[in-house]
Amino acid sequence: MPGIPSLKQSLQSGRVTIGSWITLAHPAIAEIMAKSGFDWLAVDLEHSVITIREAEELIRIIGLCGVTPLVRLSANNPVQIKRVMDAGACGVLVPMVKSEAEAEQAVSAVYYPTTGKRGVGLARAQGYGARFKEYKEWLSQQAVVIVLVEHIDAVKNLKAILSVKGVDGYMVGPYDLSASMGMPGEPDHPEVLASLKHVREVAKALGVPGGVHVIRPDPAAIHRKIDEGFTFLAYSLDILMLGETCRQGLAAIKASRSMEGKHS
């Protein structure tokens, strides 16, 4: 979109970008996070109660702040993809892509014919009808499709998935991946780590950029993932950053007060 740096170009050039997840629908959350310096922000429709109407408002605020608005879909659903793209999203993160056909389905839903099969309509993305030609050109050059690698079947079919034209990158989901391997909640299990290593090797061979979601707000963990070769990084999410800041601050206050009591 005009005024928003090209995430697609950043992915293609190998530049590190850092974003985060939004699960709270209040517009102030999107504005605060967008003005904090993130390169992109993903409105999470999979693990939140955000409605399509609320998603459009969040997309608008993120974009107006000059940050790339993405949407993590609740499913690989062509209708949902069409609606969030029409709302002004610059791209989508597609959950549970496990095959080449599913990757092709997602790409097809983002793009207009003849590249894809997306229905053509007028909404916010097209300037409410005033800028359809400009949007059509932008879409063909700048839209972003990220597949989420979060199932062992995706690992097995990764070469075919990442070879689909229109797939711009991937993001691994260690927790879902571990669950699909019969080890839920064990993302550091040796077999899961071996699968993640395989993902990095296949993607590197194909020249496809990738990333990972660092759940806890831990800057050191982000640096480690960059050193491992990831360039598309998600740094925590709104609810966790809010909660951890509250807990850490209160714990420090209570500890300090406790020590004062001992010396009184």
At 160 the three-state DSSP class reads helix
Which residues partner with 144 through β-bridges? 91
Q: Cα(117)–Cα(144) distance, rounded to whole angstroms?
A: 16
Q: Which two tokens stand for residue 135?
A: 């949007």
Q: Name the β-bridge partners of 234.
A: 19, 213
SS3 content of the chain, % helix, strand, coil (to 5): 50, 15, 35
Which residues form the catalytic set? Answer: 47
CA distance 145 to 82: 13
Return the number of other C-beta atoms located less than 10 Å from residue 259's C-beta: 10
CA distances from 84 to 25, 52, 60, 186 (A): 15, 7, 11, 33
Tokens of 219: 């800057």
Distance CA 161, CA 200 (A): 14
Tokens linked to 244: 């951890």
